[in-house]
């Protein structure tokens, strides 16, 4: 088992949010830790404004594979941010923080396709930085719940493996702000990803991926507006097969 064709793994975020793997292995048990860094283009939209900017993140995880079954754990956290918020025509500098965790279990239907289910948690926190009566005020938005999806991949000669994934999440939302307090609502989201994975050595692999997350939050108990989040991630990672 020395080529990428023998271990076809699609590792998405994300974060996120949404994670998928398609894994076929000749050994009964494999352990594959991974680490990655991401540039995430983030947009947070609400009725009176939005936040746009780039988020640099660091993440990692571990995958255990037994025959055609696998379990995956992953997490991602921003390292730096650079955001601008436009609210009621005023430009205010915002500090943005994003944390994601996910756990999933999947089954490889054949050498190219797998299906998976899992549980995810994601939280965005925005802090006002510009000196004003609201400087230091925080607003957070979190979602937690289950997701389901599928992924596939195929080897490109002996160069590496091109993979894709798609998933849907249904979650409980939690919104908290300095003026409203805490309120719950509903959340749903989709994830689409594509990845290139190739070997550096017999057991060491690199991967390049792009993942698009779209989250929608609605039906809050104390507020009458909806919120949307879009995150486009460009990721480079390393994984090692034990």
Q: Where are the domains of the chain?
A: 4-240
> Is residue 8's pLDDT more than 70?
no
Task: Give the sign of the dihedral formed by CA 155, CA 119, CA 127, CA 179.
Answer: positive
pLDDT tens, 170-209? Answer: 999 999 988 889 999 999 999 999 999 999 998 899 999 9
CATH class name, domain 4-240: mainly beta
> Is residue 84's pLDDT more than 80?
no
182 or 44, higher pLDDT: 182
Share of the chain above pLDDT 70, in %: 82
Residue 120 and residue 105 in contact, taking contact as beta carbons nearer than 8 Å: no
48-62, 89-103, 153-167, range with the lowest pLDDT: 89-103
**DSSP-derived secondary structure letter, 131:** S
- 69's enclosing H/E stretch is strand 69-87
206 or 95, higher pLDDT: 206
Q: What is the 3-state secondary structure (H, E, C) of 17-83?
A: CCCCCCCCCCCCEEEEEEEEEEEEEEEEEECCEEEEEEEEEEEEEEEEEECCEEEEEEEEEEEEEEE
pLDDT tens, 218-241? Answer: 999 998 899 999 999 999 999 998
> Is residue 34's pLDDT more than 80?
yes
60-74, 133-147, 215-229, range with the lowest pLDDT: 133-147
**End-to-end CA gap in the chain:** 12
Of 4, 13, 50, the closest CA to residue 227 belongs to: 50
Q: Residue 27 has what pLDDT?
A: 55
> Is residue 16's pLDDT more than 50?
no
36-40, 95-99, 145-149, range with the lowest pLDDT: 95-99
Distance CA 152, CA 10 (A): 8
User: By three-state DSSP, how is residue 110 classified?
Assistant: coil
Mean of the per-residue pLDDT values of the chain: 82
Q: Residue 44 has what pLDDT?
A: 85
44-53, 85-94, 143-152, 181-190, range with the lowest pLDDT: 85-94
């Amino acid at each position: 088992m020395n080529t990428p064709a023998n271990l076809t793994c699609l590792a998405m975020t994300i974060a996120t949010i949404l994670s998928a793997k398609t894994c076929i292995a000749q050994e009964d048990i494999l352990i594959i830790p991974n680490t990655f860094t991401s540039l995430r283009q983030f947009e947070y939209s609400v009725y009176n404004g939005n936040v746009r900017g780039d988020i640099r993140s660091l993440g990692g995880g571990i995958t255990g594979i037994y025959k055609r079954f696998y379990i995956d754990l992953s997490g991602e956290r921003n390292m730096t941010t650079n955001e601008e918020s436009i609210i009621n025509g005023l430009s205010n500098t915002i500090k943005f923080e994003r944390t994601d965790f996910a756990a999933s279990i999947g089954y490889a239907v054949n050498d190219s396709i797998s299906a998976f289910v899992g549980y995810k948690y994601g939280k965005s926190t925005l802090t006002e930085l510009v000196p004003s009566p609201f400087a230091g005020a925080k607003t957070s938005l979190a979602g937690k719940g289950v997701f389901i999806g599928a992924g596939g991949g195929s080897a490109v000669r002996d160069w590496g493996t091109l993979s894709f994934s798609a998933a849907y999440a249904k979650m409980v939302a939690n919104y908290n702000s300095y003026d409203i307090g805490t309120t719950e609502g509903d959340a749903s989201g989709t994830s689409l990803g594509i990845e290139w994975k190739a070997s550096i050595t017999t057991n060491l692999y690199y991967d390049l991926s792009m993942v698009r997350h779209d989250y929608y939050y609605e039906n809050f108990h104390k507020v009458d507006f909806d919120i949307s989040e879009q995150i486009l991630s460009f990721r480079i990672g390393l994984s090692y097969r034990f």
